[in-house]
Amino acid sequence: MLDDLEKVLIDASRIRDRVRELARQITHDYADIDSGITIVPIMTGAMIFTSDLIREMPIKMKINLMTVSSYPGKSVRTQGASLLSQQLGDVHGRHVLLVDDILDSGGTLQLVAPLLKQLGAESVRICVLLRKDRPTARAVQADYVGFDIPDEFVIGYGLDYDNIYRNLPDICTLKPSVYS
């Protein structure tokens, strides 16, 4: 598996430090919400990021899930976002933090954020680990961004190619021979 990697884009140490910074900022921003917040990670890619993030946030929270697919199978370019499942519970009147692994086309967040608002969320903020350097990503307002990265296909730290590589501690690129 490690032979498939072209380069490490962001190492585990930098990820850990940035996740802690994001958690402090989010905790500060939601400090006055006595009822707590609702965290909605976009599964499966955001599971590792979300678990590390919430362990650093000493505030009241509920966690509800959504599964959205944008890169089915061996796709290295988005195929458009589609909602596969959701276990949202009642978000009416709640302050929601939508957590995603990567903002590239913006399709996932443009699908999910309005849905949360339609379901009566008091507010919806967006936290992404990565934002690609492309116009479609910059057009979507993310409240919290871990890292801005080049427009490259990345894996690791929850991100996958054909459902492999999620367990890598770093964010990496693959050798083109792996996906060509």
Domains in the chain: boundaries: 12-152
Q: What is the pLDDT of residues 140-169, one digit of tens each?
A: 999 999 999 999 999 999 999 988 999 999
Are 172 and 6 a contacting pair, CB within 8 Å?
yes
Please give the CATH number for the structural domain made up of 12-152. 3.40.50.2020
CA distance 137 to 102: 9
Q: Is 29 noted as a catalytic residue in this protein? A: no
Among 52, 101, 104, 170, the one annotated catalytic: 104
Instruction: Please name the residue ranges forming H helices in 11-166.
Output: 12-29, 47-54, 107-118, 135-138
Query: Which amino acid makes up residue 173?
Result: T
Q: What is the pLDDT of residues 17-58, one digit of tens each?
A: 999 999 999 999 999 999 999 999 987 889 999 999 999 999
pLDDT-based confidence at residue 127 (cuts at 50, 70, 90): very high
